[in-house]
Amino acid sequence: MRDKRFSRAKGSILVVLLLLGCLLVSESYGWGFFAHKWIGRTAVDAVPAQARPFFQQHREYLSEHAIDPDLWRKHDPDEGVRHYIDIDLYGPYPFDALPRDLAKARQKFGADTVNERGIGPWWVVKTYNDLVRLMRKRDVDSTLVKAAALCHYVSDLCVPLHTTENYDGQLTGNKGIHRRFEATMIEMYADSLKLTVRPAQRIKDPLAFIFDLVLRSYSLHQK
């Protein structure tokens, strides 16, 4: 499927898509299905004017399909590790022992170890690069699938519990906190949350941006 508005907008869309999942991070830090959909729907309003009509047209798609990667986990055994990184297994903050380059990280720690500890940041960049390729092909249908997935992966890394080995409180006697935090709490207080969408800005280095996001997210996990 091709769309002339998509073609005109694609230059601006590239600036925005990596931000879709974290525009709301200052107001809330956990996402279940409800919040993933909320993020996908609301983030469209941050898209630059040139690209906004395209995203507004597909707002409901981005919202409804922002949960798809969680559904994929049921059928793809490789999907789970794409949603997190237990970065505190790589030494003390700011985890400089972990090379930000995936090939170097695998060489240093072993591919199996890196995979088990989560590949979230690198998967975001891969998804972003796939998205760029699809946009250049002007493949609207596949672009929307990839954009919704990117929204999900980025927003998952905004959840502090997606950045730590103690992801469910299992190491500190608080098992079950993951679900309570990212789904139950958000849905319970949704009516009182005021979500402010910040204007999107160009990201020069997506990988560095995502690792900075992970560090900010991790710093909140004990609060």
Query: Is residue 199 one of the residues assigned to a domain?
Result: yes
Residue with tokens 């993933």: 36
- Indicate the number of domains in the chain: 1
Position 20 in a domain: no
CB atoms within 10 A of CB 216: 16
pLDDT at 15 over 60: no
Q: What is the pLDDT of residue 195?
A: 67
Strands (E), 74-173: none
The region of weakest confidence among 10-24, 63-77, 115-129, 208-222 is 10-24
Domain that holds residue 103: 30-219
Q: Identify whether 19 is part of a domain.
A: no
Q: For residue 176, what is the domain's CATH number?
A: 1.10.575.10
Which pLDDT does position 33 carry in this prediction? 72
Domain assignment of residue 1, yes or no: no
DSSP for residue 16? H
Nearest to 179 by CA among 20, 66, 70: 70
Alpha-carbon span 223 to 215, nearest angstrom? 14
Average pLDDT over residues 135-140: 88
The three-state secondary structure class of 102 is helix
